Structure 1
Amino acid sequence: MTEIEVVVAAELDAECEWLAVAGVLPAGLIARNREVAEAALRPWTPAFIHGDLQITHVFTEADEVTGIIDWSEAAQGDPLFDLAILTLGHEDRLADVLAGYGTGVDLDVIRAWWSLRSLTAIHWLVDHGFDPSAPGCEIDVLKARM
């Protein structure tokens, strides 16, 4: 494992433990998504990524991207992470995004990033007054992996 994979795996383990101890999610749901998330912990070629490429950060006009905002989390990373965040909670749109992206995308890795991101975000969301169980949000994303 690379250094970054070790750091991400440690964060994932800590968040999964918190989810279980706090009783936020059933143990089976945590375990299944932890297993799915493993596929994201693999070697990848670093690329410059947005780091938080969600639909609210992309502006379009007449089917053309006209701008992308909030580059505060931009860094070297796995390009499939950006694709996963862009489609998080919108699995039905993944084929459309990939049609414009091109070939060579491992769908298991996209799904792994969905699980990893959801498992690691719930604690922060709860602590800051957001509801990860709202329709289409992180808990729904995790349930879809069952």
Structure 2
Amino acid sequence: MDEVKVVVAHSERATLQVGDVFLKIDSDQTNIDVEVEAIALAPIPTPQILWRRPPVLALARVPGMALGKLGEPSPASPAAWAAAGAAIRTLHDAPLPPWPGGNLDDITEHLDSECDWLISSGTLPADLVKRNREVAEAALRPWTPAFTHGDLQITHVFVENDQVTGVIDWSEASQGDRHFDLATLTLGHEEVLPDLLAGYGTDVDVDVIRGWWSLRSLRASRWLVEHGFDPNSPGCEFDVLRARM
């Protein structure tokens, strides 16, 4: 009998694995609504939806292995990263999903609130936060909306034989800034960015990607701390921020 494995669990959601089936349990069913619709719309490989019985969504395992893990060197080849870049470009060039994403004013307000907390709580030195807030400014500009995954972490893209076999976890998909997806996938893995862009294309502003590295790390740190994760682990968010100094 297959054992039950806890893939991720916190107060908002949990994902369990039983054999080749993943069970996603979410306290907010609108997240699952987005995931189901985004999977149907995305023009790239996605998990097969087996069934849905709120609050549970059952998905089939995608073949292959993840591109890597935050804090560890990526085991994927340059060709695999290029294939990921090509797949992401296909997604970004697809027709927009019918629901909007975050707006610039809300993103900026949230960023400044998180920076204030990081400094006032003593979680990070003020000069480190202020320097990364300056770097993040490059991302805070108008953008042409694209069909974005919204949470394109390195563990969410699977490859096999240098081909993308599946992209998972679509609950944050929306109309968004394509640079955000590229930055999220390469967070903590700056060395693979040239390989990713070899497949994606060269019409990318690397300074904007760097801005999103800082912005995402600043905005995510308090949530990670409060939900039992450690952004100070080697190669993770705090190291990303320190690399900008």
TM-score w.r.t. structure 2 length? 0.58
Greater share of residues in helix: 1
Distance between the aligned counterparts of 1:116 and 1:54, measured in 2? 15
Distance between the aligned counterparts of 2:169 and 2:126, measured in 1? 35
The structure whose Rg is larger is 2
Greater share of residues in strand: 2
Equivalence for 1:128: 227
Distance between the aligned counterparts of 1:61 and 1:100, measured in 2? 16
Equivalence for 1:49: 148
Instruction: Tell me by how many angstroms 1:80 deviates.
Output: 0.6
Secondary structure at the aligned position of 1:118 is classed as helix
Offset from partner CA, 1:75-110 (integer Å, 9 cap, x none): 000001000000001011111111111011101000
- Structure 1 segment 47-86 matched on structure 2, within 5 A: 47-86=146-185
Distance between the aligned counterparts of 2:211 and 2:231, measured in 1? 18
Distance between the aligned counterparts of 2:137 and 2:154, measured in 1? 25
Instruction: Give the count of matched residue pairs.
Output: 144
Unmatched segments (≥5 aa) in structure 2: 1-101
Q: Does 1:31 align with 2:130?
A: yes
Equivalence for 1:15: 114
- Structure of higher RCO (CA pairs closer than 8 Å, 6+ residues apart): 1
Distance between the aligned counterparts of 1:54 and 1:63, measured in 2? 18
Secondary structure at the aligned position of 1:130 is classed as coil
Equivalence for 1:102: 201
Secondary structure at the aligned position of 1:111 is classed as helix
Equivalence for 2:239: 140
One-letter amino acid of the structure 1 residue matched with residue 178 of structure 2: P
Secondary structure at the aligned position of 2:152 is classed as coil
Instruction: Tell me by how many angstroms 1:55 deviates.
Output: 1.6
Instruction: Tell me by how many angstroms 1:64 deviates.
Output: 0.2
Ranges of 4+ aligned residues in structure 1 off by more than 6 Å: none
Unmatched segments (≥5 aa) in structure 1: none
Aligned-pair identity in percent equals: 71
RMSD: 0.9
One-letter amino acid of the structure 2 residue matched with residue 41 of structure 1: L
Instruction: Tell me by how many angstroms 1:73 deviates.
Output: 0.4
